[in-house]
Structure 1
Amino acid sequence: MVIRCMRDEDGMATVWMLGLATITMVLVALVTDGARVLSAVSETGDTARAAARAGALAVDPATRAMNPSLAAGEARDVVAARQMTPGPIVVATDGTSISVTVETTVDLPLLALLGVRSRTVSASATSDLLQGVSSP
């Protein structure tokens, strides 16, 4: 009877190891490609904020307001320098603020094996033009 039970379990260790190896590979893919997405989220946010700051520095000295075309151009230059896609760039009609949206697509090489090839990440930032010095 003991010999019969042992024969029924032939190959079970192989099945268990294949199952564990598959689960481990899926977890490695999730962690690796998830880290790529989180890095892209951070980088996209940084780019949006930098582009908004650069646009806010495009001030016309005569009117002390943002020059809309120059501000949008400066913001696009920052986004292009970081190899991302600029979204809508909106300069307020009174020239006191600029809003920038940035998008990028992250390739997911390991999750592509499971059918998830890429992920698009976007971020927005607004910068206001401040004038003068105020007391704290």
Structure 2
Amino acid sequence: MTRARTRDERGAASAFIVGMTITMLVVAGLVVDGGGALNAKSTIADDVEAAAVAGAQATDELHYRQHDELVVNPAEAEARAREVLASRGYTDIRVYATETTVTVSARDTVATKMLLLIGFNEFDIDATATAEAGVL
């Protein structure tokens, strides 16, 4: 009489639990760190927009009085925009100002908390905004 061979399934549940635990940690990391990155992206977008508006408010009053034309003082606009972003802790700032518009860009990084476990250390975020002078 021959014996039927049975498959040895010892440890299968342990492998499943380990695999699911790792998967759940990665998903939790995406939720926590991804949410933090989205929040930081929204913050940098708001800050860049505020800097562009501050720059666009640097109008040349003398030119307006003489020519009834509203123009931006590019040097002052750039200084104002940089000051706004520097006061909020940004270091990678780009400002381009003309007599009609002010364009501001900034970059930053957001450190991860949970995704460090799988070797993902940070998210790079950036934003750009443009504002133009206007009379309200």
Q: Which TM bucket (shorter chain)?
A: 0.7 to 0.9
- 1:38-117 to structure 2, matched below 5 A, reads 38-64=38-64, 65-92=71-98, 95-117=99-121
TM-score for the superposition, normalised by structure 2: 0.82
2:134 match: secondary structure: coil
Q: Is 2:107–2:124's contact at 8 Å kept on the other side of the alignment?
A: yes
Q: Deviations over 1:29-82 (max 9, x none)?
A: 111111111111111111111000000111121013222221111111111122
1:118 aligns to 2:122 (yes or no)? yes
For 2:19 and 2:119, the matched residues in 1 are separated by 20
1:106 match: secondary structure: strand
1:18 matched to which residue of 2? 18
Q: Is 2:85–2:93's contact at 8 Å kept on the other side of the alignment?
A: no
What RMSD over aligned residues (CA atoms) do the two structures have, in Å? 1.9
Specify every segment of 5 or more residues in structure 1 that has no aligned partner in the other structure, as ranges.
none
2:67 matched to which residue of 1? none
TM-score for the superposition, normalised by structure 1: 0.82
| Displacement after TM superposition at 1:8 (Å) | 2.4
For 1:124 and 1:52, the matched residues in 2 are separated by 9
Q: Is 1:76–1:86's contact at 8 Å kept on the other side of the alignment?
A: no
2:126 match: secondary structure: strand
2:134 matched to which residue of 1? 130
Among all aligned residue pairs of Structure 1 and Structure 2, give the percentage whose two residues are the same amino acid: 34
| Displacement after TM superposition at 1:86 (Å) | 4.3
Q: Is 1:80–1:86's contact at 8 Å kept on the other side of the alignment?
A: no
Count of residue correspondences: 126
For 1:11 and 1:91, the matched residues in 2 are separated by 66
